[in-house]
Amino acid sequence: MCGIVGYVGKEEALPILLHGLKRLEYRGYDSSGISIRNHDEDPVIVKAEGKLENLIEKTNDGLLFHSNSGIGHTRWATHGCPTETNAHPHHSDDYNVIGVHNGIIENYQELKDKLIRHGYTFYSETDTEVLIKLVDYYCKKYKQGPIDAINKTVVRARGSYAIALMCKNYPNQVWFAKKGSPLIVAKGEDGCYLASDVPAILKYTKNVYYVDDFECGVITGDEVKFFDLNGDDITDKKVLTEIDLPQDSIELKDYSYYMEKEIAEQPRAIKDTIDKYLTDENKIDFPSLGITQEFLNNLDEIYIFACGSAYHAGVVGQHVIEDLAGVNVRVELASEFKYRNYKMNPRSLAIVISQSGETKDTYEAMIKAKKYGIKTLAICNVKGSTIARDADYNCYTYAGPEIAVATTKAYSCQLIVLYLFALFLARTKYAIDKEKYYELIDEVKEIPAKVTKTIECRKQVQKLSARFTEKTNVFFIGRGIDYAVCMEGSLKLKEITYINSNAYAAGELKHGTISLIEKGVAVISIATQPDLLDKTVSNMVEVKARDGSVVALTTKGNDVEGASKYQIYIPDINPIFAASLAVIPLQQLAFYTSLNRGINPDKPRNLAKSVTVE
């Protein structure tokens, strides 16, 4: 969602801030702004609606002003429309405090009323303006420095925030605080930085501090200082971490779109994830898993919490874990689970899946499980993310940075971790014998090569995509694991093409949905599960009989030609791992259809890469 960047140092601040904002664009935004300052001169604020290019143009490509410090922001509107007035930075009336904010202040109205009683007026509809003016109020009321004012503000504000502030009497300094929204600060050779996400600063430094909740601090040209809620200096307790990411991992290289690049990167990403956990002796080694044999033996049930595509990966995981390890799995939409009065089983494990590791709903579901005393295992792609840091155990995916809004390679790596977890559990609980285990491990090791082969069929999918360009409704049907893939294929299509699409368990078709099938309606039927093939083929025939246009997505060798108009074949694979291949043509179909419709697949409207509000 929103992005924050800040800098103080020897270099020109404005180009650094604009570069950082460019790198944060992928998170999703609808306006942007910067505030910069040259030493103790007056600060300048520039804001723009819409694309970052508008801000870049307004600042003459970053050449408009000299500056050595500043803050920048990309805003994804929550309180108030995406106008220039509502864009950040916001400022107190006398520009004593200028700031940017990610997150939501839940009690902003109450705080606003308090400030109005003290003579403050407001020019925007945002909760951020309230937050900034509250810091200003405390600065003036108690005649104390920014740390005390920030801490007083933090104690009063409910909700989540990462903030970066500039204060009139403190040139060459940028202040920060965090609760619930990610924030890193970093030291480079020519200055210090802060950002809501690593790509913003990766060009300049790899040495970062993760800011923890209820910490605040300041960056100057050459140092970073941290304080706790009491105002005590805790800098010595903080650990500088080196980011393990090459700068070119976030470059487009020869591709026109990140989504295209990330689809192509899947064999590498999957292999890297397998290699991290599989030893030379084909044992699964989850080094960060302190889970004991006794714990696993006593395990009654597994919960999986996630949102969006990560939830869809969880549904595949449910089938694989239940089939291989014989442990019951409940997969829950994290965004719904918190509203349930469900009594969690204490003899369980909660797996939370999140690419970003910042999804608020998923985080809340994890915290709910923790309140029941249930151990939590996070499958995240971003090291040091909030979910990863607060989970009991971590099994990272090694997809590398995912920039396109629609997930592809991270989803594929989530599947791999779930397969390996299922195999690990199955072997630990002796649910499968050694022979079966090694046979399945060999199959997992073949997935990267098979994904490469599947990707190579893109020309056929691209051709097929032309038939989807003008569609207004698409259905996906399948059973079991195939249904889980349907949900993912359908989400991919709708989010980046804006075509209405729906996934149905094929057996549900006759319970209502079939009334929508008429001439020309496109139905993508996934049929990779041999045990379910006949039944799904019957559903295809039913659609065909009503003049629906059926695309069958199946494994080589399956006879679906009579029941469908078009066929896409994936390489032969053990059905339990078929999701890893079946999802590829669906990613490609969404990608090419999006291009056909003149949409930038990397930045679909209204969407944010990391959803940090509920």
Picking from 270, 305, 318, 273, the residue whose alpha carbon sits closest to that of residue 484 is 318
Footprint of ligand F6R on 82-101 (CB under 6 A): none
Q: Looking at beta carbons only, is 366 or 573 nearer to ligand F6R?
A: 366
Q: Tell me the β-bridge partners of 227.
A: 216, 233
181 lines the binding site for ligand F6R (CB under 6 A):
no
Which one of 173, 359, 454, 549 is in contact with ligand F6R (CB under 6 A)?
A: 359
Question: What's the CA dihedral at 241, 75, 600, 565 to 10 degrees?
Answer: 90
The stretch among 9-17, 140-148, 354-362, 423-431 that binds ligand F6R (CB under 6 A) is 354-362
Question: What's the CA dihedral at 165, 166, 170, 175 to 10 degrees?
Answer: 20
We find the least distance from the C-beta atom of residue 111 to ligand F6R, in angstroms, to be 29
Q: Looking at beta carbons only, is 32 or 408 nearer to ligand F6R?
A: 408
- Residues 431 and 408: their CA atoms lie apart, in Å, by 31
Picking from 140, 147, 154, 146, the residue whose alpha carbon sits closest to that of residue 105 is 154
349, 299 contact by CB (below 8 A)? yes
Q: Residue 584 is inside which H or E element, if any?
A: helix 579-596
Footprint of ligand F6R on 452-491 (CB under 6 A): 491
388 lines the binding site for ligand F6R (CB under 6 A):
no
Question: What's the CA dihedral at 115, 119, 125, 130 to 10 degrees?
Answer: -30
The stretch among 111-119, 301-309, 389-397, 524-532 that binds ligand F6R (CB under 6 A) is 301-309
We find the least distance from the C-beta atom of residue 261 to ligand F6R, in angstroms, to be 15
424, 430 contact by CB (below 8 A)? no
563 lines the binding site for ligand F6R (CB under 6 A):
no
351 lines the binding site for ligand F6R (CB under 6 A):
no
Footprint of ligand F6R on 402-421 (CB under 6 A): 406-407
Q: Looking at beta carbons only, is 176 or 363 nearer to ligand F6R?
A: 363
318 lines the binding site for ligand F6R (CB under 6 A):
no
42, 108 contact by CB (below 8 A)? no
Q: Looking at beta carbons only, is 215 or 495 nearer to ligand F6R?
A: 495
59 lines the binding site for ligand F6R (CB under 6 A):
no
Q: Looking at beta carbons only, is 296 or 607 nearer to ligand F6R?
A: 607
- Residues 361 and 533: their CA atoms lie apart, in Å, by 36
308 lines the binding site for ligand F6R (CB under 6 A):
yes
The stretch among 193-201, 350-358, 501-509, 565-573 that binds ligand F6R (CB under 6 A) is 350-358
We find the least distance from the C-beta atom of residue 130 to ligand F6R, in angstroms, to be 28
SS3 of 464, please? helix
Which residues does 426 contact at the CB level (< 8 Å), separation at least 6? Answer: 324, 325, 326, 432, 437
We find the least distance from the C-beta atom of residue 490 to ligand F6R, in angstroms, to be 11
Picking from 587, 593, 479, 494, the residue whose alpha carbon sits closest to that of residue 540 is 479
Written as six digits, the tokens of 238 are: 């903080």
589 lines the binding site for ligand F6R (CB under 6 A):
no
Picking from 148, 129, 117, 137, the residue whose alpha carbon sits closest to that of residue 89 is 129
Which one of 96, 356, 528, 549 is in contact with ligand F6R (CB under 6 A)?
A: 356
Cβ burial of 222 (10 Å; 0-12, 13-18, 19+) is middle
Which one of 68, 309, 501, 580 is in contact with ligand F6R (CB under 6 A)?
A: 309
Q: Looking at beta carbons only, is 403 or 568 nearer to ligand F6R?
A: 403
Total residues contacting ligand F6R by CB under 6 A comes to 15
Q: Looking at beta carbons only, is 539 or 610 nearer to ligand F6R?
A: 610
The CB-based long-range contact list for 311-314 (8 Å cut-off, 24+ gap) reads 311/353, 312/411, 312/484, 312/485, 312/487, 312/488, 312/491, 313/353, 313/411, 313/414, 313/415, 313/418, 313/488, 314/351, 314/353, 314/418
| DSSP assigned state of 233 | B
Active-site residue, from 2, 167, 380, 395: 2
307 lines the binding site for ligand F6R (CB under 6 A):
yes
Which residues does 251 contact at the CB level (< 8 Å), separation at least 6? Answer: none
Q: Looking at beta carbons only, is 128 or 407 nearer to ligand F6R?
A: 407
The stretch among 123-131, 139-147, 349-357, 416-424 that binds ligand F6R (CB under 6 A) is 349-357
State which residue has the least CB distance to ligand F6R.
308
We find the least distance from the C-beta atom of residue 313 to ligand F6R, in angstroms, to be 8
The stretch among 158-166, 302-310, 464-472, 569-577 that binds ligand F6R (CB under 6 A) is 302-310
We find the least distance from the C-beta atom of residue 380 to ligand F6R, in angstroms, to be 8
The stretch among 55-63, 133-141, 171-179, 308-316 that binds ligand F6R (CB under 6 A) is 308-316
354 lines the binding site for ligand F6R (CB under 6 A):
yes
Please confirm, yes or no, whether 535 is among the known catalytic residues.
Answer: no
Q: Looking at beta carbons only, is 243 or 310 nearer to ligand F6R?
A: 310
The per-residue b/e assignment along 120-130, b for 16 or more CB within 10 angstroms, e otherwise, is beeebebbbbb
User: What letter represents residue 72's amino acid?
Assistant: G
Q: Looking at beta carbons only, is 284 or 307 nearer to ligand F6R?
A: 307
User: Does the CA dihedral 579-580-584-590 come out positive or negative?
Assistant: positive
- Residues 186 and 204: their CA atoms lie apart, in Å, by 9
Q: How many helices (H) and strands (E) does the chain have?
A: 18, 24
Footprint of ligand F6R on 512-541 (CB under 6 A): none
610 lines the binding site for ligand F6R (CB under 6 A):
yes
Please confirm, yes or no, whether 609 is among the known catalytic residues.
Answer: yes
For residue 609, how far is the Cα from the chain centroid?
Answer: 5
Would you name the residues annotated as active-site residues?
A: 2, 609
Can you give the binding site for ligand F6R, defined by CB under 6 A? 307-310, 354-356, 359, 362, 406-407, 491, 495, 610-611
